[in-house]
């Protein structure tokens, strides 16, 4: 997978992710707690940590030799699934450095970056699935739940993860080690630069509808189990900086940019 978003911002409805296979050598019940349910909850808890790791990677600046970053990222996005935040990306602008304080604005490039952690907890032979199996300690989990007042008949899907799994090893380093960062430069991908140029000068005439003020419009619900992308666009309008964030609003504008970047990265992989 290159872009979870691709040209289509919202995927079609899909089945929920399957539950992990509970290890045969572990007890299924302990002191009244159904550990099969807890184990499934553990897979979601581990997957739910990916967003924090992805955010940390995105916060680290991308270096482009001989070029200096300019302004805030004009485009950025985050993608969410049933597991939570699973991908982030942005496009940043860089101009050639000519001195300690100056850049050549006639020589600029745009760099697309996408961060994912493809390794999945439900893949028993993969690094995350193996970590899940090796670190799940029924006695420690039950002891932690008891200490946090989590009863055996509690709905484990409504209990905060730290009240169940806080005493187990953190997956942060493992997730960081398995992160995948994809980048493409507008010098390598002129189609992406053209798609960005096509946005320039366009208007956003959408009607403003503040909930509970006046007549509220209908907002369609997300498709079940579909990946949802939150887009952000930074730009200047009438001399002032503006930021728009939306789940559907920006898709017609930004979809061609994502599609161009996706096509360039796919082409690069196919060419070796």
pLDDT in tens, 170-180: 999 999 999 99
pLDDT of 111 strictly over 80: yes
Question: Residue 270's pLDDT is what?
Answer: 65
Rounded alpha-carbon distances, angstroms, from residue 124 to 43, 51, 70, 232, 265 = 11, 21, 43, 35, 29
Burial of 149 (0-12, 13-18, 19+ CB in 10 A): exposed
Q: Nearest to residue 37, comparing CAs of 185, 159, 149?
A: 159
Report the candidate in 116, 124, 121, 109 with the shortest Cα–Cα distance to residue 89.
116
Of the candidates 262, 119, 74, 257, which has an alpha carbon nearest to the alpha carbon of residue 182? Answer: 262
Q: Which residue in 29, 69, 49 sits closest to 172, CA to CA?
A: 49
With a pLDDT cut of 70, the percent of the chain lying above it is 92
Supply the mean pLDDT for the chain.
Answer: 89
Q: CA-CA distances (angstroms) from residue 7 to 152, 244, 253?
A: 45, 19, 11
User: Do 40 and 19 meet the contact criterion of CB atoms below 8 Å apart?
Assistant: yes
């Amino acid at each position: 997978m290159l872009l979870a978003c691709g040209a289509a911002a919202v995927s079609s409805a899909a089945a929920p992710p399957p539950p992990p296979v509970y290890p045969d050598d572990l007890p299924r019940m302990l002191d009244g707690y159904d550990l099969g349910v807890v184990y499934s909850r553990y897979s979601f808890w581990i997957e739910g940590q990916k967003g924090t790791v992805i955010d940390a990677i995105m916060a680290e600046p991308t270096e482009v030799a001989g070029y200096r970053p300019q302004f805030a990222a004009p485009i950025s996005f985050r993608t969410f699934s049933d597991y939570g935040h699973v991908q982030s990306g942005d496009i940043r602008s860089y101009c050639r450095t000519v001195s300690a304080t100056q850049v050549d604005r006639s020589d600029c490039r745009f760099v697309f970056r996408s961060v994912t952690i493809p390794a999945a907890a439900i893949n028993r032979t993969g690094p995350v699935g193996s970590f899940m199996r090796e670190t799940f300690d029924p006695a420690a989990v039950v002891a932690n739940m008891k200490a946090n007042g989590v009863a055996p008949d509690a709905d484990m899907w409504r209990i905060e993860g730290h009240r169940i799994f806080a005493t187990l090893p953190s997956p942060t380093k493992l997730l960081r080690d398995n992160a995948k960062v994809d980048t493409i430069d507008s010098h390598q991908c002129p189609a992406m630069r053209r798609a960005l140029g096509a946005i320039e000068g366009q208007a956003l005439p959408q009607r403003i509808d503040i909930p509970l003020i006046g007549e509220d419009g209908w907002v369609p619900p997300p498709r079940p189990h579909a990946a949802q992308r939150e887009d952000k666009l930074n730009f200047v309008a009438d001399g002032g900086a503006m930021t728009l964030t939306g789940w559907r609003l920006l898709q017609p504008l930004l979809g061609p940019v994502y599609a161009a970047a996706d096509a360039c990265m796919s082409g690069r992989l196919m060419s070796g």
